[in-house]
């Protein structure tokens, strides 16, 4: 069903940044699921498989790299693209993100239109 | 000169030389100690002859804990490994000194090492200076590390609230959360632009600190410079149309693929064009030209019919955080880092950047790029 709403899981600890991404995606016709830390996100992923995941890197409890590693261990999530969102944009950060195997890296502050475009590209819609 | 006279002369030389000269046997017992050594270490001849060096002029361990007794033992076993050697020594009064020694084995008729002749010079001051330099270097390195990590943290911490400022402004600007009045739109534009401005400041500061730390590396790739130049007007199109500024490009034949850092070249052109549009009054002209020089370089020129730069201010154009006149700084917001960064980016490529200007008539900014960088 091509016109069914796609679901994006947003994992982000900073409430305002979370609100921004959620509202941006809802306005643009996506369903959103939000988790404020990695552990909650992995719990959610046991029950649901989203179409795409936006994952913040600097988070307490479990950072984005660890969350990503766990996601990639789960074969049910093989097809789910994971985009890293981070305000750490130094070259070393970007290299680490690429090496970790994220599908993409979105630097913060996000370009709202650019992010929506990118998500649509990854979901081929 | 008789044999005896010669002996006396040699003895005199050795006794009076301005160096520590001593001999010790294979146990480390002193068999000769010249006058300079006596004065230097504070031992009279009869106090030191027959005594072991360890416990007299050599402390069992030095200030850093190095085992000097083991060193002396090893020296007797492997004299050839100690031809030259630096170690800490101690005087009779307990004061320590660093001595640079040259050691020579003295053989008996059967070719066995019987004694070692040691000649030493006081290098305490040199050592102290060396230690100070090492300390200063370590302090500088740690300060530099602290600066880098501070900048990385600052960048991260500032980006997080900026994400909300810029992001929510963008959501509202599109009327996606309901229509806004003209005034609200205008104010929102200010918020958004200020957010963007702050972001470019952060980026420029990070770049500049990298350049200054010598850590800015070029990411070379091959790309079409002609295309990049042609498309560069996109950066300023909107403002140019708004202010009736005519844009013209003249890219000469032969400008094509170059090997350079595309992102940095783009940034240089963006900086030049946004400066040009900022300082050009309504109805003016902005041009971009590029041609090959005879020296294996490409010469790019961005010209405008703007306010120009007075001769007295020309030295400040490439200085950090400088905008020529405070009146202009208010009118023409900028980070003040764009030009110095652009110049540094060009220089990293092995090129040059300069300008020609006449107050009130306009400015020509030039830069060269070698055809093959790296």
B147-184 pLDDT per residue, tens: 888 888 888 999 999 999 999 999 999 888 889 999 99
Element (H, E) at A23: helix A15-27
Statement: residue B328 has pLDDT above 60:
no
- Phi/psi for B67 (5° steps) reads -80, 100
Q: How far apart are CA B191 and CA B184, in angstroms?
A: 11
Look at residue B146 in the predicted model and tell me its pLDDT: 87
Please state, for a pLDDT cut of 90, what percent of chain B lies above it.
Answer: 52
The number of angstroms, rounded, from the C-alpha of B237 to the middle of its chain's C-alpha atoms is: 39
Task: Inform me whether the C-beta atom of residue A121 falls under 8 Å from chain B C-beta atoms.
Answer: no
| Chain B residue with the nearest C-alpha to that of A12 | B160
Question: Which CATH number characterizes residue B229's domain?
Answer: 3.30.565.10
Q: Looking at the structure, do residues B59 and B160 belong to the same domain, yes or no?
A: no
Look at residue A11 in the predicted model and tell me its pLDDT: 97
Residue-range definition of the domain harbouring residue A66: 7-122
Task: Inform me whether the C-beta atom of residue A63 falls under 8 Å from chain B C-beta atoms.
Answer: no
The C-alpha of A55 sits at a distance from chain B's nearest C-alpha, in angstroms, of: 15
The B residues from 179 to 198 touching A (CB cutoff 8 Å) are 195
**Alpha-helical regions (H) of chain B:** 3-16, 35-41, 45-48, 68-77, 124-173, 182-212, 225-231, 237-242, 262-279, 326-331, 338-348
Domain presence at residue B81: yes
Domain presence at residue A59: yes
Look at residue B330 in the predicted model and tell me its pLDDT: 41
Q: How far apart are CA A98 and CA B229, in angstroms?
A: 30
Provide, as residue numbers in chain A, all residues whose Cβ is less than 8 Å from the Cβ of B195: 109
Domain presence at residue B179: yes
Look at residue B87 in the predicted model and tell me its pLDDT: 94
Q: Looking at the structure, do residues B207 and B278 belong to the same domain, yes or no?
A: no
Domain ends where: B150, B179, B212? Answer: B212
The A residues from 88 to 117 touching B (CB cutoff 8 Å) are 88-90, 107-110, 112-113
Look at residue B216 in the predicted model and tell me its pLDDT: 83
pLDDT confidence tier of residue B374, bands split at 50, 70 and 90: low
The C-alpha of A36 sits at a distance from chain B's nearest C-alpha, in angstroms, of: 15
Overall domain count for chain A: 1
Give the highest mean pLDDT range of B31-35, B73-77, B235-239: B31-35
Q: How far apart are CA A104 and CA A118, in angstroms?
A: 9
Statement: residue B77 has pLDDT above 90:
no
Q: Looking at the structure, do residues B239 and B350 belong to the same domain, yes or no?
A: yes
Domain presence at residue B131: no
Statement: residue B326 has pLDDT above 50:
no
Q: Looking at the structure, do residues B305 and B169 belong to the same domain, yes or no?
A: no
Task: Inform me whether the C-beta atom of residue A27 falls under 8 Å from chain B C-beta atoms.
Answer: yes
Please give chain A's pLDDT, 125 residues, in tens.
456 899 999 999 999 999 999 999 999 999 999 999 999 999 999 999 999 999 999 998 899 999 999 999 999 999 999 999 999 888 888 999 999 999 999 999 999 999 999 999 999 88
Overall domain count for chain B: 3
Q: Looking at the structure, do residues B194 and B260 belong to the same domain, yes or no?
A: no
Please state, for a pLDDT cut of 70, what percent of chain B lies above it.
Answer: 95
Look at residue B307 in the predicted model and tell me its pLDDT: 87
Look at residue A1 in the predicted model and tell me its pLDDT: 46
Look at residue B278 in the predicted model and tell me its pLDDT: 87
Question: Which CATH number characterizes residue A105's domain?
Answer: 3.40.50.2300
Looking at per-residue pLDDT, the higher value among B353 and B213 belongs to B353
pLDDT confidence tier of residue B373, bands split at 50, 70 and 90: low
Nearest alpha-carbon partner for B267 in B317, B323, B219: B219
B205-222 pLDDT per residue, tens: 888 888 877 778 888 889
CA-to-CA dists, residue B222 to B50, B216, B259, angstroms: 77, 19, 4
Domain ends where: B187, B212, B237? Answer: B212
B262-278 pLDDT per residue, tens: 989 999 999 999 889 98
Look at residue A58 in the predicted model and tell me its pLDDT: 92
pLDDT confidence tier of residue B334, bands split at 50, 70 and 90: low
**Mean pLDDT, chain B, whole residue set:** 89
Task: Choose the weakest-confidence range: A58-72, B219-233, B302-316, B320-334.
Answer: B320-334
Statement: residue B86 has pLDDT above 70:
yes
A with B: how many residue pairs have Cβ under 8 Å apart?
55
Domain presence at residue A17: yes
Look at residue B324 in the predicted model and tell me its pLDDT: 53
Q: Looking at the structure, do residues B84 and B180 belong to the same domain, yes or no?
A: no
| Complex prediction ipTM | 0.92
Task: Choose the weakest-confidence range: B63-67, B80-84, B204-208.
Answer: B204-208
Q: Looking at the structure, do residues B148 and B166 belong to the same domain, yes or no?
A: yes
Domain ends where: B186, B212, B238? Answer: B212
């Amino acid at each position: 069903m091509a016109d069914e709403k796609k679901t994006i899981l947003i994992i982000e600890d900073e409430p305002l940044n979370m609100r921004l991404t959620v509202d941006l995606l809802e306005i643009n016709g996506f369903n959103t699921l939000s988790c404020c830390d990695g552990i909650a996100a992995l719990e959610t992923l046991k029950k649901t498989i989203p179409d795409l995941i936006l994952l913040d890197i600097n988070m307490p409890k479990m950072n984005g790299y660890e969350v990503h590693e766990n996601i990639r261990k789960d074969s049910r999530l093989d097809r789910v693209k994971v985009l890293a969102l981070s305000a750490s944009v130094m070259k070393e950060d970007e290299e680490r993100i690429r090496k970790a195997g994220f599908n993409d890296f979105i630097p913060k502050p996000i370009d709202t239109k650019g992010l929506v475009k990118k998500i649509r590209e990854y979901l081929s819609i | 000169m008789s044999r005896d006279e010669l002996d006396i002369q040699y003895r005199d030389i050795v006794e009076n030389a301005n160096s520590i000269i001593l001999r010790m046997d294979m146990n480390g017992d002193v068999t000769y100690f010249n006058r300079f050594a006596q004065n230097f270490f504070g031992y009279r001849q009869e106090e030191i002859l027959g005594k072991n060096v360890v416990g007299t002029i050599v402390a069992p361990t030095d200030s850093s804990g190095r085992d000097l007794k083991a060193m002396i033992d090893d020296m007797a076993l492997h004299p050839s490994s100690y031809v030259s050697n630096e170690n800490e020594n101690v005087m009779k009064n307990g004061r320590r000194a660093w001595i640079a020694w040259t050691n020579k084995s003295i053989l008996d008729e059967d070719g066995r090492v019987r004694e070692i002749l040691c000649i030493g010079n006081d290098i305490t001051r040199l050592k102290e200076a060396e230690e100070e330099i090492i300390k200063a270097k370590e302090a500088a390195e740690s300060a530099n590390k602290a600066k880098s990590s501070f900048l990385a943290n600052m960048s991260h911490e500032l980006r997080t609230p900026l994400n909300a400022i810029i992001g929510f402004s963008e959501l509202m600007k599109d009327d996606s959360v309901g229509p806004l009045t003209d005034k609200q739109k205008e104010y929102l534009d200010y918020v958004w632009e200020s957010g963007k401005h702050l972001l470019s400041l952060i980026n420029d500061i990070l770049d500049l600190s990298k350049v200054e730390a010598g850590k800015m590396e070029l990411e070379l790739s091959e790309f079409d410079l002609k295309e990049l130049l042609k498309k560069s007007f996109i950066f300023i199109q909107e403002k140019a149309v708004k202010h009736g500024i005519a844009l013209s490009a003249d890219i000469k034949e032969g400008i094509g693929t170059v090997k350079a850092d595309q992102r940095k070249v783009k940034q240089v052109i963006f900086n030049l064009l946004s400066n040009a549009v900022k300082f050009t009054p309504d109805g003016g002209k902005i041009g971009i030209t590029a041609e090959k020089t005879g020296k294996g370089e490409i010469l790019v020129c961005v010209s405008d019919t703007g306010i120009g730069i007075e001769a007295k201010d020309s030295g400040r154009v490439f200085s950090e955080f400088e905008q020529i006149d405070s009146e202009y700084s208010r009118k023409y917001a900028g980070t003040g880092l764009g030009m110095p960064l652009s110049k540094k980016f060009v220089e990293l490529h092995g090129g040059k950047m300069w300008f020609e200007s006449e107050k009130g008539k306009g400015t020509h900014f030039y830069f060269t790029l070698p055809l093959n960088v790296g």
